[in-house]
Chain A
Amino acid sequence: MSIKSTTRLLFLFSISLFYRTSSFAQLKDELGAIHGNFQIDAANYQKDTIIGADPGSEVFRYNAFGNINYQKGGFSAGVRFESYNPPLLGYLPGYKGSGVPYRFARYQHKDIDITVGNFYEQFGSGITLRSYENRGLLYDNALDGMRVIFTPKKGITLKGLVGKQRTYFSLSPGIVRGVDGELNVMELFDSILGNSKTKVILGGSFVSKYQEDQNPSLVLPQNVATGAGRLTVIRGGFNFNAEYAYKANDPSYQNKYSYREGKAIIASTSYGTDGFSMMLSGKMLDNMSFRSDRDAQNTIDMINYQPDFSKFHTYSLMAYYPYATQANGEVGGTAEIQYKVKKGTLLGGKYGMDITINGSAYYALDTIGIAPINDTLRNFKYTTNYSNVGNEYYHDFNIEITKKLSKKLKFTVMYANQFLNQSIVQFNTPDKEEHPDITSHIGVLDVTYRYKTGSAIRIETQGFFGKYDYKEHALDANGNKNITNNTGSWMSGLIEWTPSTHWSITVADQYNYNNPVIAKRVHYYYGMIGYVNGPTRVSVSYGRQRQGIFCAGGVCRFVPASSGLTISISSSF
């Protein structure tokens, strides 16, 4: 395009802008609403040899995005701009770049709801399809295509969609097609059954992906389907959910090109009444990883979501060795009881007391390998003995007590016993020499003192006491044991001062006080100043972050230790 024509275009554009602005007042009522939110997280990293932090030459990194959505009546449209040049350390480097990976237009009118462009969707528990984003993890598998939701009658919802999934700033090579139907039995037969106290919801979904077979030596299924049926029963405080799913042959990088079918059973039940609630969840997943690109790694191109019921810990040392659903299969469950001790009782005192007891245990499937010579036609690789379970992957038993002592003073005390089969869960190997099992006792004490309205001081102390089932390796040149995956035990302390509702100041330290390598017994200090004003939040922090390993599907990504200055800004309108 010549400079002349560009100038002319700009001129026309500014005229149209002017015209729109001048007539804005009259159109205001008909314009609808515009909303948006923005977030920028930027870091300037520095080299910190003692913790092994070396950011390389790209020391300045950031993650930034902005959503702008427009709505008028049944019509809505929106865009999201994202920019990572390059992304912060520990995020997938494929996101490097800028662009508009998300834009959509949607129209809802009476019984029909149509979306073109990008959208998020979930069928049932997500075991056949879940398209969602998690900005903290930089996980985004938004579909790009079209979706129709049709509600022909109260109590019946039908959904149909076709699209390709987002892969960084481009799209996955596979096409996802899905249908879902949900029947709210009571709503549908309201006139016959009257206002029943029990609600029954039946659902079914079917999802298929298409990806071309370009493998010169194997016959790969180009269309792979998965289907599921589900049931929900609700009565008063009681809630029951169950879903069964089946997946046809789906050789992938994840399952080492096994042509075996996949199966899943997921069930959860909960009951809640005044001051008491309980929850019980269980699952059995066998070869249910389902991706729109059969060779995708890490957290890319996942069509479905294999639910994780283990407790999400917010205290850092409780979450030091977290669990993640094993993509190739697992069996286990989680139970939780919450009880509120009433005011005026011996334990409850003047303000009552909250007790939460939570337990999780997850195991490998009991699989039996098939000798390759007997497995030439179908490449199943293994069979599963469903009457038994395999090795333990993880457990977490924890108890949390929160009590208000006076109008000003409140405390939380928490204890956990955790076990992690690190070699399998994080490294996909039975080798316990490199990656020992870890059993840990973790304690937390968190005290908040509100010395006046809007002002508080919070003090938090944590201890992580780990036992590493370790077979030791040779000594290195400095006479230290070569133990990269044994960091011993940790202590941490945090003071958070909120002088007013606008400001907060935090200082924290994690101390690796008995790392087997004496030189690594270091402090991971951290300081932050935060400012909040309405929807705007700004924070500046400085400190160290320890290294870790993040694995998905046999490929491990090293999340490096880092050290430096971080600035976060977010706002919305």
Chain B
Amino acid sequence: MKKLFYSIIAIITLTIVVSSCDKVTNVKDPNAEVILGNRKVLIEDYTGHKCGNCPAAADVLTALDTSASYKGKIIPLAIHAGFFANINASYPTDLRNPIGNAYDTQFGISAAGNPNGLINRGGYGTGSFIKAYTTWESELVQMLSKPAKFEIKIRNTFNTSSNNLNTQVVVKSLSNNSGNYKLVVLLAEDSIVAEQLDYRLPSGSQFITNYKFNHVLRDAINSTWGDVVFASGAIANDSIIKTYSNYTINSAYNANKCHVIAYVYDANSSSPTYYEVLQVEEAHVK
């Protein structure tokens, strides 16, 4: 009996020892290939100007957004919220807003640490909901490979003299979908120049006064959690048009650099994909 035990343990041990270590001799994957569907992916970067590790995450987002593999497939959104986004004398530019604060609180991001992100808000309620920026690309690829359930089209008309924006969003169901879906329409701004801490720089020069912030969430054109588009499911090719008239863009924002981001998400709290962004689109204000 004991001999049998010995043998079993010896075999298990040997199997583990032999199979359990991969030595990598070249870190670059020669077969890197990405299969894309018709879905676009919202990548949210929860950040703050006093977060010295955050510019590294912002650079990853820019690299993904501009890479040939994913061009046009990613909608980035930078949300400044939490402790590292607080303002003081050295960091006076306030990039926070109630919408971003509400997302940050609901999803518990700054409480878990910055930088961190969400990929289409997939996996809400699980331990892997919040994504480290080192995983954004692999999470993105998985999300992109899923078929799109909806299609979104945005049409903006902007009145330069009044700073008023009219946005029309058309949401079309691409398949038969049961459930409850909501549409959120946001305003984001690019090329905001302000202060940022960057730990990658040498000591003494880590405080940057002219850092360029892109994709900064500014406001919600409808509301934080949006409007119902399909309350009890939709069949394929069902469409709904939502029009948001006379939204005044804050004169402090540069309308030339502003864009509208619209996303449809699963608003059924008992769904396994609750909060997941099912489609997202963006369009420049002008």
Among A24-32, A68-76, A431-439, A486-494, which stretch is in contact with chain B? A431-439
Question: Which residues, 123 to 174 on A, are CB-close (under 8 Å) to B?
Answer: 148, 150, 152, 158, 160, 167-173
Q: Report which of A178, A248, A475 forms a contact with B21, defined as CB distance below 8 A.
A: A248
Task: Given A94-B108, A257-B134, A297-B113, check contact A216 B16 (CB 8 Å).
Answer: no
Question: What B residues does A93 contact at CB under 8 A?
Answer: 108, 111-112
What does the 1/0 interface line of B68-96 toward A look like (CB < 8 Å)? 01000000000000111000111000000
A177 to B27 Cα, complex, angstroms = 25
Most buried by A among B6, B90, B105, B142: B90
Question: What B residues does A298 contact at CB under 8 A?
Answer: 112-113
Tell me whether B32 is interfacial, beta carbon within 8 Å.
Answer: yes
A297 to B17 Cα, complex, angstroms = 28
Question: Which residues, 123 to 146 on B, are CB-close (under 8 Å) to A?
Answer: 125-132, 134-135, 137-138, 141-142
Residues of chain B touching chain A, judged by Cβ–Cβ distance below 8 Å, are 2, 5-6, 9, 12-13, 16-17, 19-29, 32-34, 50-53, 69, 82-84, 88-90, 105, 108, 110-116, 125-132, 134-135, 137-138, 141-142, 197, 199, 202-204, 206-207
| Contact, CB under 8 Å: A219 / B24 | yes
| Contact, CB under 8 Å: A216 / B32 | yes
Task: Given A206-B17, A218-B28, check contact A112 B89 (CB 8 Å).
Answer: no
Question: What B residues does A223 contact at CB under 8 A?
Answer: 19-22
Most buried by A among B51, B84, B132: B132
A127 to B138 Cα, complex, angstroms = 30
Question: Which residues, 402 to 434 on A, are CB-close (under 8 Å) to B?
Answer: 427-434
Question: What B residues does A474 contact at CB under 8 A?
Answer: 89-90
- Given A206-B13, A218-B28, A555-B132, 6 more A-B residue pairs with CB atoms under 8 Å apart are A206-B16, A216-B33, A298-B112, A378-B24, A431-B207, A557-B111
Question: What A residues does B28 contact at CB under 8 A?
Answer: 217-219, 376
Q: Report which of B21, B29, B53 forms a contact with A555, defined as CB distance below 8 A.
A: B53
Question: What A residues does B23 contact at CB under 8 A?
Answer: 221, 248-249
28 contacts between A and B (CB under 8 A): A56-B105, A57-B105, A94-B130, A152-B6, A160-B12, A169-B127, A172-B127, A179-B9, A208-B19, A214-B138, A215-B138, A217-B32, A219-B28, A222-B22, A253-B134, A300-B127, A376-B27, A378-B24, A379-B27, A429-B199, A431-B197, A433-B204, A434-B52, A434-B197, A474-B90, A475-B89, A557-B112, A558-B110
| Contact, CB under 8 Å: B27 / A218 | yes
**Within the complex, what minimum Cβ distance (angstroms) separates A361 from chain B?**
23
A253 to B89 Cα, complex, angstroms = 32
Task: Given A217-B137, A218-B29, A431-B199, check contact A179 B12 (CB 8 Å).
Answer: yes
Most buried by B among A171, A179, A300: A179
Task: Given A168-B127, A170-B127, A557-B111, check contact A112 B5 (CB 8 Å).
Answer: yes
Tell me whether A556 is interfacial, beta carbon within 8 Å.
Answer: yes
**Within the complex, what minimum Cβ distance (angstroms) separates B83 from chain A?**
4
Task: Given A214-B141, A556-B113, check contact A476 B89 (CB 8 Å).
Answer: yes
A473 to B6 Cα, complex, angstroms = 67
**Within the complex, what minimum Cβ distance (angstroms) separates B270 from chain A?**
15
**Within the complex, what minimum Cβ distance (angstroms) separates A526 from chain B?**
23
Tell me whether A96 is interfacial, beta carbon within 8 Å.
Answer: yes
Which residue of chain B lies nearest to A375 when distances are taken between CB atoms in the complex?
A: B27
Which residue of chain B lies nearest to A247 when distances are taken between CB atoms in the complex?
A: B21
Question: What A residues does B128 contact at CB under 8 A?
Answer: 167, 170, 173
A350 to B32 Cα, complex, angstroms = 78
| Contact, CB under 8 Å: A432 / B135 | no
Tell me whether A331 is interfacial, beta carbon within 8 Å.
Answer: no
Query: When A and B form their complex, what is the total count of cross-chain residue pairs whose Cβ atoms lie within 8 Å?
Result: 189
| Contact, CB under 8 Å: A377 / B26 | yes
What does the 1/0 interface line of A201-233 toward B look like (CB < 8 Å)? 000001010100011111111111100000000
| Contact, CB under 8 Å: B89 / A473 | yes
A171 to B126 Cα, complex, angstroms = 9
Task: Given A555-B113, A556-B114, A558-B110, check contact A377 B16 (CB 8 Å).
Answer: no
**Within the complex, what minimum Cβ distance (angstroms) separates A303 from chain B?**
13
Tell me whether A482 is interfacial, beta carbon within 8 Å.
Answer: yes
What does the 1/0 interface line of A172-212 toward B look like (CB < 8 Å)? 11000111000000000000000000000000001010100
A555 to B53 Cα, complex, angstroms = 8
**Within the complex, what minimum Cβ distance (angstroms) separates A43 from chain B?**
15
What does the 1/0 interface line of A441-461 toward B look like (CB < 8 Å)? 000000000000000000000
A558 to B112 Cα, complex, angstroms = 8
A34 to B233 Cα, complex, angstroms = 50
Task: Given A297-B113, A557-B113, check contact A167 B89 (CB 8 Å).
Answer: no
Question: What B residues does A92 contact at CB under 8 A?
Answer: 111-112
Tell me whether A45 is interfacial, beta carbon within 8 Å.
Answer: no
